[in-house]
Structure 1
Amino acid sequence: MSDSTNVPPNVNQGWLEFLMILLIFFIDGGAAVPHVNETHYLAKAKHYWDASYCPGDLFLDSADPHLAFYWTLGWLTKLLPLTAVAWIGRIAAWTLLAAGWRRLSTSIVDVPWASVLGAALWVALLRDGNANFAGEWVVGGVEAKCFAYGLFLFGMAALVRGDWRRPWAWFGAAAAFHVLVGAWAVLTALATWLTEPRAERTPPLKLLPGLIFGGLLSLVGLLPSLALERGTDPALNAQAAQIYVYDRLPHHLAPLSLPAAEVQWRLTWLGGMVVAFVALWAWWRRRASDTAFQAISGLDAPGAARRLIWFTMFAFAGAVVGLAIELALDHDRAAAARLLRYYWFRQIDVALPLAIAILGSAWVAAMLRNGKRFSSFVAPAPLLFAAWFLGSITYARWQSNLPPAVLQVENAAGWQAACQWIDEHAPADAKFLIPRWGHSFKWYASRADVGSNKDVPQNAAGVVEWRARMRELYPNLDAVDERGRKIILDSPELLGTPRVRELAAKYGATHVIARSSPPLDLPIVFATPVDPSANVSGYTVYETGVEPTTTAP
């Protein structure tokens, strides 16, 4: 019979830290289902396994680039509701991330609870993508990159330990889920390998088996990505790249093209983190050879910290190159887009907070252990920052736990009620004109839509078709709002009945879901009740008279 008292203390400590990290990730990412990208990825995964789900939908019928995600998690959609699959996927992704984080953190900082503090700092600095330079996030709703980043952390743990034979398999597996996460990790890791002292550097031939194995794993993600432009006119591919970079995802791919105030905020946040990183780097360099410092900080493997610092600097260099491309080719956005579509800024958004969090946890340990009054006074600052961040999330969620996917919806309860009615009563092959921000429609209604701003296909032809539809479904007015943004007619009721009829006929839309006011002159099949005193619109479901078809024009 086993006796828990025989378990080494460090094993119990390790499990407790792992569970605490998992709890931190739950607090950070545990909003009500669905999260913004879950409506995108899980609906796609469900359609991959069941083509009868939302037939005729432009996005769902487009190319399927994330095969590893569909095969790992998507098959569960055949057995369980989307909400259940989302929670299973979240828990699986957070578990992988927590295990990878602790392995990486303890490879650099050997102090009890440092990995927990580091995890809290990491998510606080990531801030769910709301403040980062390119809007990247890691912990949140489940999608392919959540698993990719979990595998990336295991690869980073091997890298910082100097085990240069093993990172490539982890990065290759990451690329299988999200090819760019893994590809950027490989390039940055190879640059870091070159900084190893020549006498200690692992010979290239010993790296080769791992690189080959990782490359083979990456084909699961690489080949579907390459197929997105296969057989397509190069001019169409160039057009799609420009739409993708500058129309749909400038906040990820071309940040300098955003409004000046937003660029200033992003650069300020990035600059603040760079200052913090440089300060921690200088602190480490001054004391790296001091064995007493190593003991109190937990940085008893200076090579591990050095490799982490170099990796972060190369990730930053990649972002600088991306900025240079955007600035140098601003006069030729078609050429710029062909390069910027490779997400030059994604890695620094993750690596810079990661390095600050791990080195910062070592700094806290050193400050608390050196016995000086001033050190004991300033050391809790990072802990308080992380606690404030997690506490503010908890409080906000207690106030309102609306799913992030419906936060942009006016009268979310009415929207959900109308979608539920459609799910229960509309024909299975019905197709809807929906509001621009209605990307949760397929999740709640289980019916196809003509298009929404969120659900852009990945293949070149699909991207061009999506942009054409957006211009017709949600046209811009020759006017701007009080914030200087173009006014968009973002919902069918604003287009008027004649135009809605034209669009329904063109795209095979059998129904419309729109705000109840102003009303459309179409047959009403359902309308949500509205409290006039609430000052919000309800939602009305209309029939258009168009016959169902699963073939998009």
Structure 2
Amino acid sequence: MNDSTTSQPHEVAEAPAADWRMWIEIAAIVLLFFLYVGPLTPEANEAHYLAKARHYWNPNWCPEDHFLNSGDAHGVFYWSFGWITTLVSFPVAAWIGRLICWIAIAITWRRMIVLITDLPWAGLLGMAMGLAGVHYLHMAGEWLIGGVEAKCFAYTFAFWGIGDALSGRWNRAWILLGVASAFHVLVGGWMVVCLMFCWFVCPKQRPSLVSILPGLFAGGAIALIGVVPLLLLNRGVAPEDSAWASYYYVFERLNHHLVVHTFQLGFKLRFAAAAIAWGVTAWLLRNHAKARILNGIVLGSVVLVLIGIAIDQFFAFVLQDFLAAAKLLRLYWYRIADVMVPIGLSINLLALYQLHGEKYRSAARVGLVAASLFVAVGMFVRIADRWTAPASPADVGTLVSDPVAWQTTCYWVRDNTPTDAIFLTPRMQSTFKWYAQRAEVVTTKDVPQDDLNLLDWRRRRGDVQWQSIHNRQTLSLAGLTEANVHKLAKKYGVKYVVVDQVIARRDQVPVEWSFPRIYPANPEDDANYEVYEVTP
């Protein structure tokens, strides 16, 4: 009697303590995300996605921008989150979205990992290892934690779904992966394929096919919300046009993500080393029921990589049919493995440490120290780089010549030009709409997702960027002739031109136009960016 009366209060007291530990760990994971990403906006893709999201809800914002008027490939993201961009500034919207995604990923990640290992702080340790792994061991440039965009929400629901599969809730797992697919067709869709592969290779853990049919059908129906609009983007497009659009998308614009034979050798070697290390740890955990499910999913992602490589090699080097290759390689075969291999390796290492740490104490300690040093040094370098960066990741990534002068110029444009004006903007930037909030004829970063607009985007690049290179061998728009600018004004409605004078001076290409320079106003002022008004 005494035992029961003393044990019950102890059990009641433990539950709140466990909840507090859980929420403290989740907060620590979110803090890790904040340190990892850094304090600046926009991230590499935020200007691209959030501008599209604002235009989705307010078509009168930058009404004549070609990219913003192109097809919407991520309608669920724009519909569910985009309205926030109409209420607050882009940086505020980005931070709201980041916090939503980071908290959601932290919760679903921790819920997933503790089903495999209940080591203290496994969620935080595993995420630190996983982030370092994704950052340094990826092959095709995929990332997990960064700015807000559709795939952040997709990964949230993917981790949630994997956690349900680990818990034996397979029907709900399919439904959650269907939601992930609605947000981002490729992230969610490939996760569905990987879980299906896991179901095939894990006979002891899998439920019967009949029992999971309701979840498969429900998840598939939800996924159609994202899949159907994407398929309709190219309805009525001629097959030849579609093939060439895929070619330009894959081999010209995004070959660094999609064409494995163009990847740097170092990237391929480090990913191969990570995959081999994961394979060894997966084999050591082959009798671990929960880890086997996770590793079945990771194995599915590795199989996708092998299929992508086979497509690349067969169509490009055997058949030499690059148009056919592009149609298939456009599906981002390497995306999921870039994330799941480092994550699987991290979780496996923690599970092995928990299982065998006492038995093989010396080896476990050596492994723990080695892994900790790799993670600590790698994360320190990454965090230091982000917190000492002179400009936002988007400006750094697109090699903006002078980020401070660029922002100052954009803000002047925002405050001193008509809201419906159309601009020619420097090739080496992706943030004009973010800062200046004005339409552009074309920008390299903003590639449309529908084929006809993608073909038009390439023509526009030829008319603007490549014409400047052809005329005077410079990436600066100073390479355009006055006749070129007049032609572009007539064709695309251009009212202003922003010239990168840093590149123009470097290439010794002065502006040879009679158009008035309206920024800077003082004719004696030298500036790294100049704005010209196109006049008759």
Fold shared, TM-score > 0.5 on shorter chain = yes
Tell me the CA shift for residue 30 of structure 1: 3.2
The yes-or-no answer on 1:264 pairing with 2:265 is yes
| Counterpart amino acid of residue 498 in structure 1 | A
- Equivalent positions of 1:268-283 (< 5 A) are 268-283=269-284
**CA displacement 1:152-184 (0-9 Å, x = unmatched):** 111111223333222111100001110111111
Distance in 1 separating the partners of 2:495 and 2:91: 27
Distance in 1 separating the partners of 2:175 and 2:259: 31
Could you say if the C-alpha distance between residues 422 and 11 of structure 1 is closer, same or farther in structure 2, counting changes exceeding 3 Å? Answer: same
| Counterpart amino acid of residue 42 in structure 1 | L
Judge conservation of contact 1:56–1:431 (CA < 8 Å) in 2: yes
Distance in 2 separating the partners of 1:442 and 1:414: 16
**CA displacement 1:490-540 (0-9 Å, x = unmatched):** 2311334333333233221100011234334221111299999xxx96110
Distance in 1 separating the partners of 2:193 and 2:360: 42
**CA displacement 1:11-37 (0-9 Å, x = unmatched):** 222112211111112222234011110
**CA displacement 1:56-103 (0-9 Å, x = unmatched):** 111001111211111221101221111110000000011111111101
Distance in 1 separating the partners of 2:406 and 2:210: 59
- Equivalent positions of 1:296-307 (< 5 A) are 302-307=288-293
- Helix, strand or coil: the match of 1:329? helix
Tell me the CA shift for residue 321 of structure 1: 0.8
1:176 to 179, 182, 206: 182
2:6 is matched with none
- Equivalent positions of 1:149-164 (< 5 A) are 149-164=155-170
The yes-or-no answer on 1:387 pairing with 2:376 is yes
Distance in 2 separating the partners of 1:229 and 1:244: 14
Judge conservation of contact 1:474–1:488 (CA < 8 Å) in 2: no
2:497 is matched with 512
2:233 is matched with 228
Distance in 1 separating the partners of 2:392 and 2:446: 17
- Helix, strand or coil: the match of 2:373? helix
The yes-or-no answer on 1:58 pairing with 2:56 is no
Q: Which has the higher helix share?
A: 2
Could you say if the C-alpha distance between residues 473 and 364 of structure 1 is closer, same or farther in structure 2, counting changes exceeding 3 Å? Answer: farther
The yes-or-no answer on 1:337 pairing with 2:326 is yes
- Helix, strand or coil: the match of 2:171? coil
| Counterpart amino acid of residue 218 in structure 1 | A
Tell me the CA shift for residue 377 of structure 1: 3.6
| Counterpart amino acid of residue 336 in structure 1 | A
Distance in 2 separating the partners of 1:381 and 1:528: 59
Tell me the CA shift for residue 6 of structure 1: 6.3
- Helix, strand or coil: the match of 1:432? strand
Tell me the CA shift for residue 263 of structure 1: 2.9
- Helix, strand or coil: the match of 2:401? coil
Distance in 1 separating the partners of 2:341 and 2:186: 17
Could you say if the C-alpha distance between residues 218 and 374 of structure 1 is closer, same or farther in structure 2, counting changes exceeding 3 Å? Answer: closer
| Counterpart amino acid of residue 234 in structure 1 | P
Tell me the CA shift for residue 250 of structure 1: 0.9
Could you say if the C-alpha distance between residues 488 and 348 of structure 1 is closer, same or farther in structure 2, counting changes exceeding 3 Å? Answer: farther
Could you say if the C-alpha distance between residues 217 and 477 of structure 1 is closer, same or farther in structure 2, counting changes exceeding 3 Å? Answer: same
- Equivalent positions of 1:201-212 (< 5 A) are 201-212=206-217
Tell me the CA shift for residue 47 of structure 1: 0.5
**CA displacement 1:201-230 (0-9 Å, x = unmatched):** 412121111111111211221111111111
- Helix, strand or coil: the match of 2:73? coil
1:447 is matched with 438
TM-score of the pair, normalised by structure 2: 0.90
Tell me the CA shift for residue 489 of structure 1: 3.5
Q: Which moved more, 1:415-424 or 1:264-273?
A: 264-273
Could you say if the C-alpha distance between residues 354 and 6 of structure 1 is closer, same or farther in structure 2, counting changes exceeding 3 Å? Answer: closer
Distance in 1 separating the partners of 2:134 and 2:174: 25
| Counterpart amino acid of residue 302 in structure 2 | F
2:530 to 518, 529, 540: 540
Distance in 2 separating the partners of 1:154 and 1:122: 17
2:478 to 493, 497, 511: 493
- Helix, strand or coil: the match of 1:194? helix
Tell me the CA shift for residue 116 of structure 1: 1.0
Distance in 2 separating the partners of 1:167 and 1:540: 54
The yes-or-no answer on 1:475 pairing with 2:461 is no
1:327 to 313, 320, 330: 313
- Equivalent positions of 1:344-493 (< 5 A) are 344-366=333-355, 368-370=357-359, 372-407=361-396, 408-475=399-466, 489-493=474-478
Judge conservation of contact 1:414–1:528 (CA < 8 Å) in 2: no
1:76 is matched with 84
Judge conservation of contact 1:175–1:182 (CA < 8 Å) in 2: yes
The yes-or-no answer on 1:316 pairing with 2:302 is yes
RMSD: 2.4
Could you say if the C-alpha distance between residues 216 and 70 of structure 1 is closer, same or farther in structure 2, counting changes exceeding 3 Å? Answer: same
The yes-or-no answer on 1:125 pairing with 2:133 is yes
Distance in 2 separating the partners of 1:220 and 1:107: 31
| Counterpart amino acid of residue 186 in structure 2 | L
| Counterpart amino acid of residue 39 in structure 1 | A
**CA displacement 1:348-370 (0-9 Å, x = unmatched):** 11111110111122234456544
- List runs of 5+ in structure 2 lacking aligned partners: 1-9
TM-score of the pair, normalised by structure 1: 0.87
Distance in 1 separating the partners of 2:512 and 2:407: 20
Distance in 2 separating the partners of 1:530 and 1:135: 44
- Helix, strand or coil: the match of 2:43? coil
- Helix, strand or coil: the match of 2:42? coil
| Counterpart amino acid of residue 185 in structure 2 | V
Could you say if the C-alpha distance between residues 190 and 530 of structure 1 is closer, same or farther in structure 2, counting changes exceeding 3 Å? Answer: farther
Distance in 1 separating the partners of 2:387 and 2:298: 36
Q: Which moved more, 1:497-506 or 1:426-435?
A: 497-506
Judge conservation of contact 2:410–2:436 (CA < 8 Å) in 1: yes
1:298 is matched with none
2:260 to 255, 259, 264: 255
Distance in 1 separating the partners of 2:155 and 2:467: 38
- List runs of 5+ in structure 1 lacking aligned partners: 289-301, 480-486, 547-553
Could you say if the C-alpha distance between residues 528 and 419 of structure 1 is closer, same or farther in structure 2, counting changes exceeding 3 Å? Answer: farther
